[in-house]
Amino acid sequence: MAMESTTRRYGEGSSEWSDRAEQTGDKAKQWGEQAKEKAAKFGETAKMKAAEFGEKAKDMADHQKDKVGTRLEEAGHYLRSKDSGEMWHDAEEYVRHHPMQAVLGAVVAGILVGRILK
């Protein structure tokens, strides 16, 4: 019924009907172009952010690598400069000053040894 009134109102070959259809098509094309532009901008932004993140991750990894290298050098120096009696004394002092960390370390070491021997 609505179709009949629309057909009567505009007629099947009416120029007004085709003008409206053309306007609707033009709007759809505009929206499509806008969507393409926004998608392209989003892609460019995402690419830039990914590059920035990659650079930051690389910097953080380099920093951590340097930090670990320094700690290993310090540990090597400590092991070369101390005898076993001094190391045992240092371990006892650490346990007295940090009992919870010592217990946690012992538990973790026990778990690791248990897994290795299993």
Residue 4 placed within a domain: no
- Whether 74 and 88 share a structural domain: no
- Whether 38 and 77 share a structural domain: yes
Q: Angle between the 99-117 and 84-97 helix axes, to the nearest 10 degrees?
A: 120
pLDDT at position 57 = 92
Residue 12 placed within a domain: no
CB proximity list for 102: less than 8 A, separation 6 or greater: 94, 95
- Whether 49 and 75 share a structural domain: yes
Residue 19 placed within a domain: no
Residue 23 placed within a domain: no
Residue 32 placed within a domain: yes
Which DSSP category does 11 fall into?
-
- Whether 60 and 48 share a structural domain: yes
Average pLDDT rounded to a whole number, residues 51-72: 93
pLDDT at position 9 = 55
**41 has pLDDT over 80:** yes
> What sign does the CA torsion over 40, 44, 47, 49 have?
negative
Q: What is the mean pLDDT of the chain?
A: 87
The pTM score is: 0.45
Q: Which domain holds residue 113?
A: 84-118
Q: How many helices (H) and strands (E) does the chain have?
A: 4, 0
pLDDT tens per residue across span 85-107: 999 999 999 999 999 999 999 99
pLDDT at position 45 = 92
- Whether 91 and 106 share a structural domain: yes
- Whether 45 and 64 share a structural domain: yes
40 CB neighbour count, 10 Å cutoff: 10
* Rg of the chain over all Cα atoms, to the nearest angstrom: 37
Per the structure, how many domains does the chain have? 2
Which DSSP category does 13 fall into?
T
Residue 15 placed within a domain: no
**68 has pLDDT over 70:** yes
